[in-house]
Amino acid sequence: MGKSLNTTTPSPLPLASSGQALKKEGAKLESIPATGENHAKGQRPLAGNAAVLETKLKNTTAKIGVVGLGYVGLPLAIEFARKGFETVGIDLDKTKVALLQKGKNYIQDIADAHVSEAVKNGSFRAQDHYTKARELDVIYICVPTPFTANKDPDISYITSAAEAIAEEWRAEDGTADGTPHAQLIILKSTTFPNTTEGAVLPILNETGKQVGEDFFLAFSPERIDPGNQKWTTANTPIVVGGVTPACTRLAVLTNQQIIEHVIAVSSPKVAEMEKLLENIFRSVNIALVNELAKLCDRMGGINMWEVVDAAATKPFGYMPFYPGPGIGGHCILIDPFYLSWQARAYDFETNFITLAAETNESMPFYVKDLVFKAVAELPIRLRDAKILVIGVAFKRDVDDTRHSPAIRVMELLMDDGAKNIAYTDPFVPQLWVKGQTLTAKPFDEATIKSADIVIIATDHTQYDYEFLVRTASCVIDTRNATQRITEPALREKIVLLGSGRRQER
C-alpha cells in the first residue's frame, strides 16, 4: 500500500468496554463449522442489513474487497475469487496493480496459474484507488503496521484505509440502484488491542452510520507463514471478534467461505491480544535459546543445538526453538514493541517481553563479533576482507527480506568499515543495503573461493553445504546448516553459533 500523509502515531487507546461482548468472560471458545444455520444453538436469525448480507454470502453474490495486496491480502483475495466471489483488490502501489492487471503474480505462496486464471475469468481485478469501494459488501483491511524509529506503533496505514472507506460512504449512500447498502469491514493487520474499536470505529462512526445496523466491523488477525506449504490461507484456523454479535456472526460466515475452521471470540480486543500472544510467545522462546547459545559459547564445551535436540526428546511440556542470527519478518520482531508501548499507558512495564525482544535484536551484533574474531586471525584488516553472506531472506526458502537479520548483519559490518560484502540468494536477485544496490552472486566455486569469510545467514535447502565448506576458507554458520558435516578437517573450518567452541583456529 502507498502510505498516506497521516503518519502521526496515536496515543495509547483506552480499553473501554463496548458492552457488546458475544460471550461471557472466560467462556469456552468454539470452532464454528463451515456448515449449519446461524440460528443454530439458540441464535436468533439475523435481521435487516445483516440478513441481506448473510444471504449474499451464502449464495456467493457478495462482492469482496481487499485493501493491501501483499503477503496477507493477495492470497486472501485469490481464495475468494477461486470460490466464485467477485473480488476487488485495492493497493496504492501502482507497480503491484499493473502486474496483477496483466495476470502476473508476485507472491511466492500463490500459484501463478491461480492469479492469471482469476484475472482472466474476471473473478478478480486490481485497482490503485478506492473508487466504487462503497459498492462492495465486505472489505478486508490488510495493510502494513510498522513501527517508528523509536519503536512506537505506526497505524497510519490502517487509519488511512478507514478514512478512504468512510469517504466513499459519504460520496454516495447506497448501491448503484439506490437501495440501502451495509458493508462488513474486517481488519486483519496485526496491531495493539483496541485499534478496531478505538481507532477504526470512530472514523466510520463519523459518517453517521450505526455499527451493527448500517455497517459491521470485526477484527480477524492474519496467520500467514511465508513458504509454508502445509498451512495455507484455506486450512489455517483463524480467530474472529466483532464489535457486536451481528458483526461477529457475519465475519465468521464470511471467513467460512474460504477457511475451514473459524473460531469466534468475545470481542475485537481479545482477537487483537491473541495475535500478539502468538508472536510474543515465539519471541520469548527464541530469545531464551539465543541467550543460552551465547552462554554456551562463553562457557565452552556445550553445543546449544545438541542441548535443544536432547530436550526435544521429552514428549510433553516442551517445544523446541533454535538460536540464530536474529529474527525477521513482519510480526515477531514488531509485536513485542506494540504491546510494550500500549502497556506504558497503564503504568505497566512488560519487562520480560521487552528484554526478550532486545535479546533477539542483539543477535546480529553477536554475529558481527564472530566475524571480527575470524578476521582477527587473518593477515588482513576488516575493510580489506572479502565477506560473502549466504542467504539474505529472513527465513529459509522464501524471498521475503522484511527485517531480515542477514541484512542487519551486513549493515553493521559496513558501519564498522567492511568494504567488500557480497551475497548469494536464489530467491533475492537484488538487495538494497546502506544506499547500495547489490546483485546476488552465483553459488559457485569462484564466488566461494574469492571470499575470506563466509556467513551462513539463511539456510536455504537449495545449497550444497558440504561443497560450500570444502570450498571456503572459513564459514560462520548461524543456522546449524552444516550439522551433517562430520569430517574433522571440514569441521575445523566452521564457526558455529552456539556450538560452545572457542575460536582458537
Q: Is the pLDDT of residue 278 over 60?
A: yes
Residue 282 lies in a domain: no
d(CA 370, CA 456): 12
Residue 151 lies in a domain: yes
Per-residue confidence (pLDDT) for residue 13, from 0 to 100 = 58
The reply to whether 196 and 317 lie within a common domain is: no
Q: Contact 217/200 with Cβ under 8 angstroms? A: yes
What number is the average pLDDT over the span 68-85?
Answer: 97
Residue 127 lies in a domain: yes
The reply to whether 355 and 228 lie within a common domain is: no
Per-residue confidence (pLDDT) for residue 502, from 0 to 100 = 60
Band of the pLDDT at 30, cuts 50, 70, 90? Answer: low
**Residue, of 180 and 491, whose pLDDT is higher:** 491
Residue 504 lies in a domain: no
**Residue, of 140 and 176, whose pLDDT is higher:** 140
What number is the average pLDDT over the span 93-97?
Answer: 97
Per-residue confidence (pLDDT) for residue 504, from 0 to 100 = 47
Rounded to whole angstroms, what are the CA distances from 285 to 55, 289, 308, 310, 496? Answer: 45, 7, 12, 16, 20
**What's the total number of domains in the chain?**
2
The reply to whether 221 and 315 lie within a common domain is: no
Q: Contact 240/248 with Cβ under 8 angstroms? A: yes
Contacts of range 416-419, beta carbons closer than 8 Å, 24 or more positions apart: 416/368, 416/372, 416/382, 417/381, 417/382, 417/383, 418/382, 418/383, 418/385, 418/387, 419/383, 419/384
Q: Is the pLDDT of residue 106 over 60?
A: yes
The reply to whether 228 and 347 lie within a common domain is: no
Residue 342 lies in a domain: yes
What percent of the chain is modeled with pLDDT above 70? 89
The reply to whether 93 and 149 lie within a common domain is: yes
Residue 348 lies in a domain: yes
What number is the average pLDDT over the span 205-227?
Answer: 94
Burial of 74 (0-12, 13-18, 19+ CB in 10 A): buried
Regarding beta strands 494-496 and 475-477, do their DSSP bridges make them parallel or antiparallel, or are they unpaired? Answer: parallel
Q: Identify the CATH number of the domain in which residue 332 sits.
A: 3.40.50.720
pLDDT, tens digit (0-9, with 9 covering 90-100), for 305-360 = 999 999 999 999 999 999 999 999 877 888 899 999 999 999 999 999 999 999 99
The reply to whether 205 and 306 lie within a common domain is: no
| Residue that is written with C-alpha cell 471478534 in the block | 241
Per-residue confidence (pLDDT) for residue 253, from 0 to 100 = 98
d(CA 107, CA 404): 17
The reply to whether 188 and 77 lie within a common domain is: yes
| Residue that is written with C-alpha cell 586471525 in the block | 377
211, 243, 266: which is the final residue of a domain?
266
Write out the catalytic residue numbers. 331
266, 293, 318: which is the final residue of a domain?
266
Question: Which contiguous run of DSSP H or E holds residue 32?
Answer: strand 30-32
Q: Is the pLDDT of residue 15 over 60?
A: no
3-state SS record for 255-320 = HHCCCCCEEECCCHHHHHHHHHHHHHHHHHHHHHHHHHHHHHHHHCCCCHHHHHHHHCCCCCCCCC
Per-residue confidence (pLDDT) for residue 229, from 0 to 100 = 86
The reply to whether 330 and 202 lie within a common domain is: no
The reply to whether 154 and 100 lie within a common domain is: yes
The reply to whether 409 and 464 lie within a common domain is: yes
pLDDT, tens digit (0-9, with 9 covering 90-100), for 350-402 = 999 999 999 999 999 999 999 999 999 999 999 999 999 999 999 999 999 99
d(CA 87, CA 76): 10
The reply to whether 482 and 333 lie within a common domain is: yes
Residue 272 lies in a domain: no
pLDDT, tens digit (0-9, with 9 covering 90-100), for 433-492 = 999 999 999 999 999 999 999 999 999 999 999 999 999 999 999 999 999 999 999 999
Band of the pLDDT at 501, cuts 50, 70, 90? Answer: confident
The number of CA neighbours under 13 Å toward the Cβ of 86 is 9
243, 266, 289: which is the final residue of a domain?
266
Band of the pLDDT at 23, cuts 50, 70, 90? Answer: very low
The reply to whether 346 and 456 lie within a common domain is: yes
Residue 377 lies in a domain: yes
The number of CA neighbours under 13 Å toward the Cβ of 12 is 16
φ/ψ (deg, to 5) at 424 = -135, 135
* Domain with 83 in it: 33-266
Per-residue confidence (pLDDT) for residue 170, from 0 to 100 = 86
